[in-house]
Structure 1
Amino acid sequence: MKKSLLAATILIALGGLTACQTQSATSMTPSTEVKQQSFVQFSQQFIDSLWQESPTWALYSGYHKYDAVLKVPNAVNRAKSLQFIETQLQLLKQFDTQALSAGEVIDYHLIENLLLRDQWDINTFRSWQWDPSAYNVAGGFAQIINEDFAPLDDRLRAFLGRMENVPAYYSAARENISDPTLEHTQLAVMQNKGAFSVFSDKLLETVSQSGLTASEKQLFNERFDLATKAIKSHVDWLESLENKLQKEGARSFRIGENLYEQKFAFDIQAGMTAKALYEKALADKAHVQGEMAKITKQLWPKYFTTPMPKQSNVATRQLIDKLSAKHVKREDFVDEVRAQIPQLVKFVNDKQLVTLDPKKPLVVRETPEYMRGFAGASISAPGPYEKSSNTYYNVTPLDGMSDESAESYLREYNHWILQVLNIHEAIPGHYTQLVYSNESPSLVKSLFGNGAMVEGWAVYTERMMLEEGYGDFEPEMWLMYYKWNLRVIANTILDYSIQVKGMTEDEAIKLMTEEAFQQQAEAEGKWRRATLSQVQLTSYYSGYREIYDFREELKGMEGEEFDLKGFHETFLSYGSAPVKYVRQLMLAK
């Protein structure tokens, strides 16, 4: 019911905008002007207040006024957070959405969703109690020391100020942690150990050679010593907790149907239930498997002299296994990713698919240690306050894998799929979308982006690039694309089945390897990821279907006048707003 009312409110607002567009500027009533201006003022006030409330989020977003502040996650500050949420919700309720522009209505609902989700997380979901991996100071400190947003001495002073609360931070974390899951405890151990890649002897050497005063250097060393001891003590405590949980048992990582549907509504904002998306994914899985069977039949004589198995999935699996042997050497994995980026840039520019800004650097790097253990590849993008800063494409090297695991991983990310991965993460996927998001005239849409739109865009570009001729329509490339796309579909089935329906690890591995044709190492990694997150794995498929379906709808409406580049750039211009809102804005034009 709430979703239906929300959709109706949006449509009413868009209808109002269409009517206003036919009027002259002078025909707008003074009261409307005041209300619209006051919402702009509220939005800015909200963002300013939010950064005080969430200084680390501000740091990641490129707003550096509160870099020296590390908020202690104790009961007092949780109560302050709830009061902040309530105050902002009351301020938001003063606005009549029918008096706002269409863009402002979207901002209204983005802010509302953010506040209600945070309130729900503290009061209902309570992950601050059962997820020890939520407590890790490394990221904020790494952002300060690794990003060149200010002179080094200024950043070191922010680092110095931020260190003051590290011992209290971890003390509060231990007070909060109650009935944790084993999986999140194990992740917390690994990632907090990675903090020592930030709090390193190299950093102390940098400080000794910096322009800090003698007293500042002394204080830096004192706080550094206290901080590292606090991190080590916390890791020791976590390891003891891990041993206890392994012996005595731990809370299940599964959150169940009610919490899953609630989290899905907040995180995805797709206009459908999680169960409905799950059922849609089941139907798409069957369709994609059918397309793969057709390509397998076409390619079989090229690669085999034996008769093709009668079971289509068995034949497809055999062909994929044959093709997967073509992959880069393990020691060249990161370098190969780096080498492919210019090729993708050239294709996008030659085909005029979307305008790329050469002034926005993309840097391929090995994933920092404190970030490892969750995903093999990811993007770390600057916020809208520091648009010119580097975007990092984090690629985890395979050094720590056994030979068997590395070979399995490389077969998963073979010659063809590695290219699809780079489309997804970099050009014209995440990197491109996030650059555009930072240019959105609405700071709200840039800052409070919808994960399903962000992930959905990256998945959409994979198919779009192949449709436009990337890979020269090679059937092997399309087969591997479908395999990759099937993984996106399987992500939704997997996540819902694990968290809601109680799918076991053996059942999950079977789904991924036998029905989605994934390698064993990839399947095991996805199982681990599905035990550590909830709902996020559905964002890829949800956003992809919404974007692709909307594009096809618009093509049908505009016919020969449809311009693909224009569609892409208009769509991206609205920042990282939920797709359903972007669609309504574009249709209202």
Structure 2
Amino acid sequence: MNTRAVVLSACCLFGACAKQVPSPAPVEPPRASSSQRSETFPELVDAIFAASFDFAPSNGTAVGRHAYDARLEDWSRPRIEARLRELEALLGRLRAVDSEQLSFDERVDARALESQLLAEQYELGVVRGWETNPMMYAGLPGGAIDGLMKRDFAPKAERLRSVIARLKAVPAVFAAGKANLGTPPKEFTDLALRMTKGSVGFFEGSVATWARDAAGGDAALLAEFTAANAAAISAVQDYSRWLRDELLPRSTGRYALGEERFLTKLRYEEMIDLPLSELLARGEANLEKDYRDFVATAKRIDPRKTPAQVMHSLEDDHPTAKDLIPTVRRSVEGVREFLVAKDLVTIPSEVRPHVEETPPYARSGSFASMDTPGAYETKATEAFYYITPVESDWDAKHQEEHLRLYNAPVVSIINIHEVWPGHYLQFLYAPRFPTKVRKLVSVGSNAEGWAHYAEQMMLDQGYGDGDPKLRLAQLSEALLRDCRYVAGIKLHTAGWTVEQAANLFHEKCFQQPANAYEEARRGAYNPTYLYYTFGKLEVQRLARDYMSAKGTSLKQFHDAFVSQGSLPLPLVRELLLR
């Protein structure tokens, strides 16, 4: 999972949180009168992002705009309704631009902006996850605070003052959630409960420890933090009780979007515009192809066992709970060394990511993720490769099934996806993306598609020296994404239950039952997670077309692709093949 914020997405599940005091309806940035010069495209781009950061200040922090550090989102109904009016006005201004007066690159950027503004408008106005997903509110406070603590972009005391400002807003986060939420799906409320339980420990432990160090000898500053943190912890605990006692009993809502909303969401967010039948056929065909390859590879390893038994035998060699993070830390550098030796892509930085536990507030079903500095971050270079540990309240069977995922061959593939040359490499290029739009807009089919493409590409180029166990691991990860593709469509357009989807993950993707259920439940709240496989297939097709048209090497394609940012893939195709 790529955790870098898509700046124009207002309702991403784990953004930041509400402002301390609800703000009035935003004033639209002034436009030039008829007697003045017309608004230029760069000025309009600036206005669009200024409005976006005003609505989601924690995204400003995430991309390196630190004027927003002490501000937090207001997700009250009046503010969201004001944002919807603002989006309509911004879309009108964007559509009023004379495209004939724009350069080729500006026309591409304008289309990307329109698509993302439409996606946010559709999410807020039609899908309305802020009325149905308590996970949004559960994850907001931790994400907002952690974003200030973990990167050293300013003196600690200065960042502590911003932490305090955001802590004071935490009660407003949950007040907005209580006011907005109606009858969510039970699956969402269950996960929100897990997240709030983890958040209490996060604020009591990690945040308090960091703050004591950051305050130094300033007793008054520490006292102000202590009071704000205590109020935040109380608010989290109160929200957790409310989830359990009031929201869970009425969590009878349906997660399924239906065909029309599913396809519209996909078209706006990813610029994927296919009939449902064709979209599903692609996913099912790739699932069957990868399944056949998996079975054949398993027979190469041990023809006496079933494919599932072969995969389980790989999983037998896994780290303990205590050694999980150290094991991953030791394994990352070898992938980079291969990438350099084979000269497959230009690596623009020597900075390495930190391997850490997934923060408790973000443990919503993912097993690994990458959190990188924003494109405008000039001081802090810290990037975090997160691995999700076992939970203390899991039984022994669940813990064992979770740890089995982190066997050595699979961890190697995850390292490729998350770090080299997947998410981390792509985002090392972010400061040099050619335009502001390409620095600040990111879509899943590009970022996740590239990272998933990298898994197969690295083995095809010789990583692992043809080890069938590593190929089986790569195919297991491919099957996982294929099952996400099919499950997402079936969950939201064909009436599938989470249990039916979990069975698909278990039977066709060889996932352990506990992991299969986590993956299936993710599809309930992340309906378009087909973007992994769809994106991979599109990047593969673009690689073939680019090298054929330009007569270039694979490295030249990789350098060209990662240099353009994470725009929707149809736009990247136009940029590379113009």
User: Do the aligned partners of 2:348 and 2:429 also contact (CA within 8 Å) in 1?
Assistant: no
Q: In 1, distance between residues paired with 2:74 and 2:403?
A: 42
Q: Which runs of 5+ in 2 are unaligned?
A: 1-36
Q: What residue is the counterpart of 2:98 in the other structure?
A: 96
Alignment of 1:431 onto 2:424: yes
Q: What residue is the counterpart of 1:236 in the other structure?
A: 241
Post-superposition Cα deviations, 1:35-57, rounded to whole Å, max 9, x if no partner, equal: 99921222123222321222122
Q: What residue is the counterpart of 2:388 in the other structure?
A: 396
Change over 3 Å in CA distance of 1:376–1:127 after alignment to 2: same
Alignment of 1:72 onto 2:77: no
Q: In 2, distance between residues paired with 1:195 and 1:236?
A: 13
User: Do the aligned partners of 1:130 and 1:181 also contact (CA within 8 Å) in 2?
Assistant: yes
Aligned counterpart for 2:227 among listed residues 222, 225, 240: 222
Post-superposition Cα deviations, 1:453-475, rounded to whole Å, max 9, x if no partner, equal: 00000000001100110010123
Alignment of 1:344 onto 2:335: yes
Aligned counterpart for 1:321 among listed residues 304, 312, 327: 312
Q: What residue is the counterpart of 1:475 in the other structure?
A: 468
Q: What residue is the counterpart of 1:172 in the other structure?
A: 176
Tell me the number of residue pairs that the alignment of Structure 1 and Structure 2 aligns.
538
Q: Secondary structure at the match of 1:471?
A: coil
Change over 3 Å in CA distance of 1:36–1:424 after alignment to 2: farther
Alignment of 1:364 onto 2:363: no
Cα offset, 1:283, TM superposition? 1.3
Q: Answer with 90-99 or 134-143: which moved more.
A: 90-99
Q: In 2, distance between residues paired with 1:321 and 1:170?
A: 43
Alignment of 1:375 onto 2:366: yes
Q: Secondary structure at the match of 1:43?
A: helix
Alignment of 1:486 onto 2:479: yes
Q: Which runs of 5+ in 1 are unaligned?
A: 1-34, 309-314
Q: In 2, distance between residues paired with 1:489 and 1:201?
A: 39
Post-superposition Cα deviations, 1:196-236, rounded to whole Å, max 9, x if no partner, equal: 34433665566566268665554434333333322222222
User: Do the aligned partners of 2:64 and 2:377 also contact (CA within 8 Å) in 1?
Assistant: yes
Alignment of 1:151 onto 2:155: yes
Aligned counterpart for 2:190 among listed residues 181, 186, 193: 186
User: Do the aligned partners of 1:113 and 1:266 also contact (CA within 8 Å) in 2?
Assistant: yes
User: Do the aligned partners of 2:55 and 2:74 also contact (CA within 8 Å) in 1?
Assistant: no
User: Do the aligned partners of 2:133 and 2:181 also contact (CA within 8 Å) in 1?
Assistant: yes
Q: Secondary structure at the match of 1:472?
A: coil
Q: What residue is the counterpart of 2:398 in the other structure?
A: 405
Equivalent positions of 1:298-317 (< 5 A) are: 298-300=300-302, 304=304, 315-317=306-308
Q: What residue is the counterpart of 1:117 in the other structure?
A: 119
Q: Secondary structure at the match of 2:67?
A: coil
Q: Secondary structure at the match of 2:527?
A: coil
Cα offset, 1:410, TM superposition? 3.8
Aligned counterpart for 2:535 among listed residues 534, 543, 548: 543
Q: Answer with 192-201 or 430-439: which moved more.
A: 192-201
Report which of the two has the higher share of helix: 1
Equivalent positions of 1:39-58 (< 5 A) are: 39-58=41-60
Q: Secondary structure at the match of 1:379?
A: strand
Q: Secondary structure at the match of 1:524?
A: helix
Alignment of 1:555 onto 2:547: yes
Q: In 1, distance between residues paired with 2:495 and 2:171?
A: 39
Q: In 1, distance between residues paired with 2:229 and 2:295?
A: 59
Q: In 2, distance between residues paired with 1:497 and 1:398?
A: 29
User: Do the aligned partners of 2:116 and 2:269 also contact (CA within 8 Å) in 1?
Assistant: no
Q: Secondary structure at the match of 2:470?
A: helix
Q: What residue is the counterpart of 1:16 in the other structure?
A: none
Q: In 2, distance between residues paired with 1:508 and 1:573?
A: 37
Change over 3 Å in CA distance of 1:384–1:273 after alignment to 2: farther
Cα offset, 1:326, TM superposition? 3.6
Alignment of 1:564 onto 2:554: yes
Q: What residue is the counterpart of 1:30 in the other structure?
A: none
Q: Secondary structure at the match of 1:456?
A: helix
Q: What residue is the counterpart of 2:145 in the other structure?
A: 141
User: Do the aligned partners of 2:484 and 2:520 also contact (CA within 8 Å) in 1?
Assistant: no
TM-score of the superposed pair, with normalisation by structure 1: 0.85
Q: In 2, distance between residues paired with 1:478 and 1:219?
A: 54
Aligned counterpart for 1:579 among listed residues 548, 552, 569: 569
Alignment RMSD (CA, Å): 2.5
Equivalent positions of 1:11-30 (< 5 A) are: none
Letter in 1 for 2:236: I
User: Do the aligned partners of 2:431 and 2:439 also contact (CA within 8 Å) in 1?
Assistant: yes
Q: In 2, distance between residues paired with 1:68 and 1:146?
A: 15
Question: Percentage identity across aligned positions?
Answer: 28
Q: Secondary structure at the match of 2:203?
A: coil
Q: What residue is the counterpart of 1:12 in the other structure?
A: none
Q: Secondary structure at the match of 1:354?
A: coil
Q: In 1, distance between residues paired with 2:407 and 2:209?
A: 41
